[in-house]
Structure 1
Amino acid sequence: MADDRPAHESHLLLDTARVTDFALDPDRRTEPDRCVYQGRVRSRRQGHMRYLFFTNTPAHVHLYKHAAAALDDRGHDVLVLARDYGCTTELLEYHGLPYRCYGHLETTKWSLVRQLPRHYYSILRYTRQYDPDRIFGMGAYAAHAGAISRTPVTLILDSEPTSLDHAVSRPFATSILTPHAFGKDLGPKHYRFRGFKESAYLHPDVFSARDDIREQLGVEPDEKYVICRFNAFGSHHDVNHSGISPPERRELVEQLAERATVFVSDESDAMAFDALDARPFDLHPGLLHDALAEAHLLVADTQTMVTEAALLGTPAIRSNSFVGDSDMGNFIELEREGLIYNIGAFEPALERACSLLDDESISAEWADKRDDYIDRTVNLTEVIVDLATSSDGPNSVAGLSQGELSARPPRDAPVSADR
């Protein structure tokens, strides 16, 4: 099969000659087992470790993909336990990572409640089979898998509002890593790094946009284009929150289409494009960051993609009900640095989007601000790999600190009075 991965991702390919089938007895196979890609079985040798990564969402795949590949390149065993949610498994296959699917999740608020018992059953069974030496994840699944298997667990957390998740995860974690802007103290196991979870895959050390993305999108070299990203608000941390409503989404697209080509990425796939001057983003999801890096503007009611835009130097507007006095620290920081706008109300967000598209100088301005900011952040993949291979724990890993990381005086921030 021809490899259609971007050149800058080619190092993620695994040595398939060393990969063997890790499937269960077919007679005992359940629905999640049919999502198996390939796992790895090697004899344990001195100095070789088994690492288990949890990827519950597409963003988690991006977070751990380079670290998993680096550990594999060093000869360690790597396995990903994934949830079939959105394009999670599609991304794992695209990046050539060995995974098992522990269950399915729809983009509705009650899907997780219905699926939770089955998820835990599959997770605990797979964890015991694989018998990992270290576990990495972002929440309760990873923490509880570590507790049952008595395996050290590192959690990477970046969302302050998910207090319940913190409460049920934190007691079982060996170490917890958060961005420097994280607004809570999670106790003696808490370590901070300068940057965001997105620094694991969008730091210049590990990412460069492909040159042919405009050709792939079908846009001209000098053609302005905007990406609109709409959330399904189906995750547990989205309960009681909302974003841009369906009528507002149509109005937004209509207004932006008068100024630029509009691509829409809709997590719920509910957007109707009839009589709408916009295109669905229908490239492989593995190319979304390449497209975002070239975009003139992002307008979103999601969280992760706004941070991604900031780290790529693309102006971004974030509009949802999280915006306000108790907002998450990373978005407060990025707005203070002049890289994003947090605007809760729709009309002011629309006005700001139109004004940014009318400003011919913003691309160069944002590139300068991004370069200035990125110089002060870590390559999080390097931090993860150093921690995974360290025998002395997080205190010996460069880039991690248990104290508050010093902040420099903020640059002029965007206007945010219209929240």
Structure 2
Amino acid sequence: MRILVFANTPAHVHLYRHAVDRLESAGHDVLVLTREYACTTDLLDFFGLPYRRYGRHDTTAPSKPQLARELAEQAGRIVTESVRFRPDVIFGRGPYAALAGTVTRTPVVLVLDDEPGDFNHTVSRPFADCIISPAVTRRDLGDAHYTFDGFKECAYLHPEVFEPDEAVREYLGVDPEEPYALVRFNALDALHDAGLEGFTRDQRRDLLERLGERATVFVSDEGGEMDLQDLPARQYDLHPALIHDAMAEASLLVADTGTMVNEAALLGTPALRFRGTDDHEYGEFRELERVGIAEQFDEYDAVRDRSLELVGDPSASERWERRRREYVGDLVNLTELLVDVAEAGGSLERVDPSVRRSLHPQPRVGTSNRGSSASD
């Protein structure tokens, strides 16, 4: 089979990388279409995935004429590459996957998470043959929408998939028992981040100064704007492919971005999310809070104080790891599911019944489901 995968962000690379490896090992022809954005192509190179670029995404906002020209050029490249590749099934999300499926008359599988509904979903949904999302999703995306018990991060952080690099402390230059914290600052430049604000400049400095008094602090600044010269913190400078290994060994993760909080929680690392001005209720975070492996805060003082409390508590990591073992092992290994759906050409009717049992038709709006009842 010929399988086309869209990986537009670093998170998408992680989502599909094990499935791509498995499919190639089984003799299938796989192509990843991607764009230059953050470390996306760095990750594709690191993991040795077969890819071609269709464009780039800059963090600076282009003018309307520039944006229109860039979108037209990217659409043209996607059409060219898709027609040339002749896929049997397409995986992705948003209008690009929909476009590729339309011009090649190929089944499209959308793998979504619990982000707010937006233009991307509105455009792509009518073209999807199959939509897969976590069971905590609280949206009704139609008859083709199926859910699974887990998170999109289960494709690469499920215990059956993730194998930590035990040398990561050596790479970071920290001692075997030395506590360290990871702090992630969001660039907030994605479409779904429009109008949102996270940590302010003063809050960032205050958090790093206070955490630095209790632990070694590594900063992952997506926007690249933080000057750490006079702060008790170091730039996280390992290859981005090692971030999950570093996260697994950390005593704490604090962030104003969503994905890394999900990841740390599933790895058993105390994970705190500062919501800032984001008042959307995400099903994933509600579920992670319900089982006690992530916490969210609306006020800066609260997240700062909780950070200091946890990083100074030597038993916190053990509690989080115990909760992780009790919860994560029962979740769906999403890589296994993606491989089976791909080999079935995107048709759930052709998926092995044992696999199909892990997928559930999304209840129509107004009926109960796991995500909506977790904290009602």
TM-score, with length taken from structure 2: 0.92
**Is 1:84 paired with 2:36?**
yes
> Which residue does 1:347 correspond to in 2?
301
> Which residue does 2:247 correspond to in 1?
292
Q: Distance in 2 between matches of 1:230 and 1:280?
A: 12
**Which of 14, 17, 20 pairs up with 1:65?**
17
TM-score, with length taken from structure 1: 0.83
> Which residue does 1:401 correspond to in 2?
360
Q: Distance in 2 between matches of 1:406 and 1:166?
A: 21
**Which of 264, 273, 280 pairs up with 1:309?**
264
Q: Distance in 2 between matches of 1:403 and 1:370?
A: 26
The equivalences for 1:211-230 within 5 A come to 211-230=166-185
**Which of 263, 269, 285 pairs up with 1:331?**
285
Q: Distance in 1 between matches of 2:267 and 2:50?
A: 28
Q: Distance in 2 between matches of 1:159 and 1:122?
A: 29
Q: Distance in 1 between matches of 2:272 and 2:127?
A: 36
Q: Quote the offset at 1:338 in angstroms.
A: 0.8
Q: Quote the offset at 1:406 in angstroms.
A: 6.6
- What letter corresponds to residue 144 of structure 2 in structure 1? K
C-alpha contact 2:110 2:132 (8 A) present in aligned 1: yes
Q: Quote the offset at 1:190 in angstroms.
A: 0.2
> Which residue does 1:255 correspond to in 2?
210
> Which residue does 2:137 correspond to in 1?
182
Q: Quote the offset at 1:209 in angstroms.
A: 0.6
Q: Distance in 1 between matches of 2:166 and 2:346?
A: 41
**Is 1:198 paired with 2:153?**
yes
C-alpha contact 2:255 2:272 (8 A) present in aligned 1: yes
Task: Tell me: CA distance 1:147–1:117, structure 2 relative to 1, closer, same or farther (3 Å).
Answer: same
Q: Quote the offset at 1:110 in angstroms.
A: 4.1
Task: Tell me: CA distance 1:377–1:265, structure 2 relative to 1, closer, same or farther (3 Å).
Answer: same
**Which of 95, 99, 116 pairs up with 2:51?**
99
> Which residue does 2:111 correspond to in 1?
156
1:71-102 C-alpha deviation (Å, 9 max, x unpaired): 10011101100111000000001001110011
Q: Distance in 1 between matches of 2:339 and 2:241?
A: 22
Report which stretch shifted further, 337-346 or 211-220.
Answer: 337-346
Q: Distance in 2 between matches of 1:97 and 1:144?
A: 23
Task: Tell me: CA distance 1:338–1:246, structure 2 relative to 1, closer, same or farther (3 Å).
Answer: same
Length, aligned pairs only: 363
Q: Distance in 2 between matches of 1:83 and 1:392?
A: 24
Q: Quote the offset at 1:407 in angstroms.
A: 4.4
**Is 1:235 paired with 2:190?**
yes
- What letter corresponds to residue 251 of structure 1 in structure 2? D
Q: Secondary structure at the match of 1:242?
A: coil
Q: Distance in 1 between matches of 2:224 and 2:244?
A: 19
Q: Pick 1 or 2: higher relative contact order, CA cutoff 8 A, min separation 6.
A: 2
C-alpha contact 1:109 1:233 (8 A) present in aligned 2: no
Alignment RMSD (CA, Å): 2.0
**Which of 162, 176, 201 pairs up with 1:207?**
162
Report which stretch shifted further, 102-111 or 390-399.
Answer: 390-399
> Which residue does 2:222 correspond to in 1?
267
Q: Quote the offset at 1:383 in angstroms.
A: 0.2
Q: Distance in 2 between matches of 1:337 and 1:322?
A: 25
Gap runs ≥5 in structure 2: none
> Which residue does 1:374 correspond to in 2?
328
Report which stretch shifted further, 154-163 or 207-216.
Answer: 154-163
Q: Quote the offset at 1:350 in angstroms.
A: 0.6
Q: Distance in 1 between matches of 2:109 and 2:59?
A: 27
C-alpha contact 1:315 1:339 (8 A) present in aligned 2: yes
- What letter corresponds to residue 262 of structure 1 in structure 2? V
